[in-house]
Structure formats: C-alpha cells, structure tokens
Chain A
Amino acid sequence: MKRFALVALVLVIAASVSMGEKAPRASACAFQVAPTAYEGPKDRSLNLKAMDLAAYNMIAPGDDFFGLPRLEKGLRGTRSSVEPVIPPILLKSISWIESVTTQTTRDAPFGGIGPALISFDCGHGVMQVTSGMTVPLGTDGLATPDQLLVATHYAYNIARGAVILVDKWNAAPDYRPVAGTDTDSDPSIVENWYFAVWSYNGFTGPGAKRSNHPMDPVYGAWPRTPYSCGAANDGFGHNRGSYPYQELVWGCATRPPVVDGKQLWAPFELSLPDLNDSRWRNPLQLANWKSPYVGMDMPTPLPSHVDGTSQPPTSILYSILGLPKLGVYKSNISIAVKDDGTAEPQEVEIGNAGTGVLAWGATSSASWLTVSPTAGVAIANDVYCSAGDQCERDGKLTLTVNPSGLRSGSQRATVRVYSPQTKDTQTITVTIASVGKTGVPGIVKN
C-alpha cells in the first residue's frame, strides 16, 4: 500500500502540474455580456486565410500579445531560436476541433454579426482562446483592448491562438518533452508539433480528468479507428470523446471537414508515433509521465511531413484586416425619465466607415448609465454579408439608465466608444433632462 500511495502521489503531482496550465473555470469570463463578433462565409475562407497569415506571423508582428515569439529548436541543452512559422495546417485543423472554425455562436448567420462564441471554460472564438480570458483584466472590471480583439475579431483571435501554440512549443524542454530528437526538433516538420498540439488542449495524462495520453485506457477502443472530420460514413471515427486531442487534430488534418460538398483544405497526411516501435512507445510509458517529462523526448514520427503552404502576399493581409474607421452616428442623447422613475433604453449604432471588420469597445462614465454589450464589431461595405442589401453592418450599443442611481435634477454622463485597432475614440454625451422622483417604482428618492 505504501508503494501504491507514493507512486499515486507522484502521478497526482504530475497531473496537477499539467492541469495547472488549463485556466481555472470562471463564472463570468472576460465579459459580463457576450460581445458581438463577425462570422465570415460558410466556406470559412476568411478564417483560413487569416490562419495562413497568422502562421507566418503577418497579422501583428512584434506585438507583445498578438505577435509570434521566436521558435526554439534543437535538443535539450543545445536550443537555438528561429523566425516563427507554424505549419498552417495545424491552425486549420485545431480551429475545426475547437470551434468548427467559427468566431460566433450558432445563433449568428454565416456572413453576419452575432454573439461571440464563448465556451463554459471561457474559450473564446475560432481558436477557443482561454488563457488570459477568464476574467476581465482592464480597469473597472472591464476587458482590456487585447481581450476585446480576441473575443470579437476572428483574425486577432487566430493570431492569439497561434501565439499560444508557439508558447506550447517553446515550453520544451523545460516543461515539456521534445519531439524530433533526430531532426533537431525542426518546427517546419509538422509531426514535431505533437507535444505542442497535445499541450494546446492541456498536457494532461493518466490521473487527470481529461487525459490526452494516447495510451490511456480511458479511451476504450484499441486500436482506435483514426479520427475524421469528413463524412459520417467514410469508415473512420467521428466521436470526439474517443480520442486524445492531438489525434483529433491529426485526423482532421488528414480527413478534412466537408462543407457544402467541398473539403475545407486538401487532405494533409500526418504520422502519429508508432506505438509498436520502442523509439516512440518507450517514451510514452507510464513511468515517464512525470514533470519535466525528460523521458518522453522522442524522435520525429515517420514518415514526416512539411507543410508547403507558401507565405501569403501582403494583399491578403490588407483584405483581412482592412482599414476600419470608427463611426458613431450620435454625439448627444437625451433620455427622459418617466414619472414612475423608469426610462426607455436607447440604442446607438456604431458604424465602420472604412474597410474590413472594426472591433469596438464602450464604457460609461457614470454608474447610473450602463452600456451593453461593452464590445462588438461593425463591418464595412467591403465585407461579405449574406443578407446583401438588408445586411446589418453596424454594431448596436444599448444605453440603459438605472434610475435608482440618479440624483435629482439634470444629469450628464459620457459614453466612450473606442476601437483597439485604430485607437480612435468618440464620445457620446448622455443627458437626463430632469429628475423629479427617481428610484424603483414605489420608492421616492429626493
């Protein structure tokens, strides 16, 4: 029993280290109310283009939050760094597993604006970015501009997801094993991202609630039919609960999703570690599941593959990011408080007079005036919208007066609308003409 208890303790410690990277569950994530976001066309063409850009660090190079850090390569003790390039196929496959490559919920139309996708563990958008999104990190309990972009703008969300994937790669060798001990851990070899992809979902193993260890018997079938994102009757597996995360990503890359009869990307063969070969099987032994996982270093799974997707031209970058321009159509709003102390909410439209997708945020200067949502998007005329001429391209901001917070007499507050992309700010002055009786109905406050 003593031996059992000791080794169990080791395993739990290892598991806790692993689980520690998964952000804790939060009840209210970065936004109290889900912001709006833009959903591109059903063929995911905009998202996929943005992934090529993000893979080549073109969306926000040099930015502390959205720019890719350099990639480390090499063996333990001989690491060096190279310009960051992620195999684009990984971002594409991960995005489908995470969100079926959507920035919004199913309530939003393809080619339109709708509620941003936020999961139960605060995963946001296309890449289900969780890290840094569990609580608002700005002042006054509000989201930061970076958080706002992650939640609302698909391209920045994808860029942030790419940063996180690079961070997972760079966690080796100090906190993660090295894949590719025979190939200098070359990041251009897609199979060398095996542990980084595993870590994107959580470097978890036996002893964790959600294990991604390929040998974990919690996955009931052995061997496993490879996973597929393709047609239901293609002879491969489609039940996600039966696979560790990296096998979902590998399978989806090889057997891509089909939308309206067309594959979203060309099938990309990827190799998993050969579990009959000691070179890969031994590192995955249970005994090696302990931080910092030195024993799990392994050679590149064979045959290995390189993603030949070429670097997109700059014109693609411009078409994705555009040159948005903040346009708030009202600068003054007067709100009347009724005799019963209530006031009708007022809606303000936020437009984009430039091009592309504009992300905006809004704050109120007064506690009696709330804005909702506090973030969203507005799309310019050049952005695809499935509703055509009937398209709702503007963002909608609702201003609500809380009469119980009002003093008697005239009141004034300002709403600040800003864009984290353009750094533009516009203000709306909100005036309560005159307050006699205020407060909730039945309660007089003079």
Chain B
Amino acid sequence: MILTQGAVRVLRRAGKAAGVVVVVGALAVGLWLGVSALRGDENGAAKAGSSPLLIYSEFGRNSDTIWAAQADDPSHRSRLTTIDHAPEYGVVASLSPDAEHIAYTVLPAEGFAAIDAPAEVWLMDRDGRNRKRLAADADLPVAPVWLPDGSAVVFRRSDNNESGGHFQLVQVTTLGVRRTLVDTTAGVMPVGFTPDGSLYFVSLSTSGTDLGVVYPSGGVMSNVAHLSDDFARDWHLSPDGARLAYLAPRQTASGVSYGAVVLDLGDGATNQLRAAAAPGSQADEFNPIWRPDGTGVTIGRLASNLAGGAPVLQMAAAGGPVVGALAPPPQGFDVPLAWSSDAGYLAVRFFEGNSVTNPGRSWVTVVGADGKRQTVSPNSDVEVMGWVDSGG
C-alpha cells in the first residue's frame, strides 16, 4: 500500500501521542530494571547505583563479550555475557528500548566465516540468559532495530542471484512470528522506529539515498524524502520521531566532506548544520546524534586546518552557531556515539589521526560533563549499544 505524504502526516500525528506514552513507560521500566540484572562477576565490577552504565560489546576473534562499565570509571566493568561467532566476524548487536534485552546478528561459530554467509538473529536477556534464535537468514552487517515496545525486531535479509539483488526488511516478534515489511530490489537498511511504530528505512540507488517509511498499518511509502544524490549515512531519529539527523556529502571548493543535516519529517524542511564550519576550511562532520531531550544534535567535526584535538560539538537542531563543546582530546578528533539518559556522559570514539582517510588508531572513550575523559577498553574493537541509568 502506498500512501500520500498528506496521509503520512495524519497517521503520524495520530500515533505520536500514544507512542510517546509507550516509550516513556518503557524507559521508566528500563531504568528501574536496568541495573538489577547486572552481576558483578569479577574484580573491579561495575557497581549498581553509582553512575550510568555503558553497555558495549568487545570483539574477540571467536567470541564477543558484552560488558557493563561505570560511566565515572569504565575500568569498573562487569562481564554480562559472551557470544560465540565465526572466526573474525563479530556480532552486530542492539539494546532493547527498555535496555533489558539484546538482539544481535551473528555468524554461527561452526558456520562459514564470510560477510555474505547467512547470519542468525538472536534475542537474549542482557545478562545472556534466555537466548532464543529468531531467524537464520539475516544479513550480518545490519543491526536489528527494535520496535518501541520491545515486542519485535526488524532485520534485513537479502538474496543475490544472476538476475540481481532482492532485499527484505523482516519483522520478527520475540515469539518468532515473521512479517515482511519491505520487499524490494533496491538496497535498503532500517533506520529506526518512531514512538508511534512507524519504521523509517533508507534505499540506495544510482540517484542517491532516499528515505522511506512503513506505517503501523503496513502501508509503505518509499520516497518520503530524498536525503542525498550520493551516499547519506549515520541517520538517527529524534526521540520524538519528528526529525531525522543524518550525514550527506557536500562539495566545497577544497573537496568533498560529510555535513550534518536535520530533516523535519513533518514538513520536509532541512537544516544543514553548516554553521559549524569555520570560514575557509573544509570540515567533515560525523555521526549526528540527538541529545536525550531532543533539543539538539551532537556532532563530531574534523576541520582540515585542525590544530590540537577536535571535540564533539553541540548544535541546535534548527542550526545556528555551536552551542557547546565537550572536552577535546589532546590530538585527533572525537565521534559521538551515545549520550547517557541524563546527558551527564557521552560515549565517543576517539581517533588519534587527523584525516578521514587515515584516522589512525581509535578507542571508545567516555567524556563526562566535567571534562574528564576515560578510555573504555584498550581494544579498539568496541561497539557501544547504549546506556543503562543506574538511578543512583
């Protein structure tokens, strides 16, 4: 079913109020339950109730480890569980909205180690209990996306044969009931759900990157917005589902760089956060993530004339000047990953290099509002899933 843009807005408004209630409720439950499931099982374990906990996976050649680390001292961390996988190919995981569960794609340990081998989709409690396989035909690199109420995830599957590619976004409930939401010959990737249950997705074609949506009714609209004539990336829905922040390449006199853009999903208006660019310099922007309250966007930014370290910047979603910056690294640059719910801590990836093409070594780092910077792990292969509020 294809809907018009007018119908889109009506449906979105109708579902928004109810959706917000669902999400707030889910977050509340998540905050209460968040730490209770953590078990300190080693020295220096994370302590419940002291500070927010960063949930992340750490790659290992044959198995990944899921950790919970204290924001104020990431060296205090608890091993939540481990996940075996095919050699060299780590899991791609996402935390449920209530932070109680983890969904992930994985190449089975005894299976074939290739990026296009069929991946499995698994669901488990955050501590690794109650593991359940939901699918065995997924694409490994595409992380599962959770429904707002945590009742299902959406994963991507695809087939390639002599006649071309075939892609599906498939919703599977925690009970294993499948439903195909998008079925297309274009390369698609899920973006995320709005609180009212609409799934946004992107499609890649030779004309660029387009945004589509699947409404709770099942109706699909493939061209909600044209995000870029080229590769757009790093898309993030605002907490209220009304806007989309993403990166799009832009041509400047001195070259090509990615710039952050905010798209209003209601009226289609876009704001390019170009105020961050200093005159006369080329700047690459990275991973525009929303502040927890949705009032602004946090971006990484690397200018061609970088001197010293480049901090992440806080921008108003409507554009305008930089409204704040976190503590910069001594050199290199930061890419924002995820805010704790109280906005007291930001997980970033710190690169020690000074160019996109050769960014050098990197480590996930927690930057506090007080300016304190702490490395999460000596290994670079860390993927942040999100935060659990300790409530304390």
Contact = CB atoms under 8 A, between A and B. Distances in A.
Nearest to A233: B378
Contacts, number: 213
Given A120-B114, A235-B363, A8 B355 contact: no
Interface string B33-77: 000000000000000000000000001110000000000000000
Contacts of B255: 276-278, 281
Interface stretch (B225-233, B312-320, B365-373): B225-233
Contacts of B160: 15-16, 19, 208-210
Contacts of A9: 185
Given A7-B207, A19-B165, A237-B381, A12 B361 contact: no
Interface stretch (B123-131, B198-206, B272-280): B198-206
A322 B232 CA distance: 55
A385 to B, nearest CB: 26
Interface in B228-273: 229-234, 247, 249, 251, 255-258
Interface in A231-256: 232-242
B117 A120 contact: yes
Interface stretch (A258-266, A267-275, A313-321): A267-275
B213 to A, nearest CB: 13
Interface in A1-35: 1, 3-4, 7-16, 19-20, 24
A108 interface: no
B210 interface: yes
B305 interface: no
Interface in A279-295: 281-282, 285-287, 289-290
Contacts of A282: 256
A24 B140 CA distance: 20
Contacts of B202: 217
A240 B206 contact: no
User: Helix, strand, loop or mixed for chain A's interface?
Assistant: loop
B232 A222 contact: no
A275 B356 contact: yes
B229 A286 contact: yes
A11 B361 contact: no
A241 B205 contact: no
A96 B112 CA distance: 16
B189 A225 contact: no
Contacts of A276: 255-257, 282, 284, 304, 355-357
Nearest to A123: B114
A274 to B, nearest CB: 5
Most chain B CB neighbours (cut-off 10 Å) among A4, A207, A272: A207
A219 B361 CA distance: 18
B256 A277 contact: yes
A404 B142 CA distance: 52
Interface stretch (B87-95, B173-181, B338-346): B87-95
B76 to A, nearest CB: 19
Contacts of A11: 186-187, 204-206
A36 B363 CA distance: 43
B351 A223 contact: yes
A206 B162 CA distance: 16
B380 A235 contact: yes
Interface in A108-132: 119-121
B355 A206 contact: no
Contacts of B352: 235
B122 to A, nearest CB: 16
A209 B165 contact: yes
A239 B361 contact: no
B165 A225 contact: no
Contacts of B356: 222-223, 275-276
Listed from nearest, the 4 A-B pairs whose CB atoms lie closest are: A235-B361, A210-B116, A217-B233, A16-B164
28 contacts: A1-B223, A7-B205, A11-B204, A15-B160, A16-B165, A20-B162, A24-B162, A121-B112, A121-B114, A207-B164, A209-B159, A218-B142, A218-B187, A219-B141, A220-B92, A220-B141, A222-B247, A222-B356, A223-B286, A226-B358, A232-B60, A232-B379, A233-B379, A238-B59, A241-B92, A241-B115, A277-B256, A287-B229
Interface of A: 1, 3-4, 7-16, 19-20, 24, 119-121, 206-211, 215-226, 232-242, 272-278, 281-282, 285-287, 289-290
Given A121-B114, A240-B88, A281-B249, 17 more contacts: A7-B207, A11-B205, A15-B164, A16-B162, A19-B162, A19-B165, A121-B112, A207-B164, A209-B158, A210-B115, A224-B359, A225-B380, A232-B379, A234-B380, A237-B381, A275-B356, A281-B256
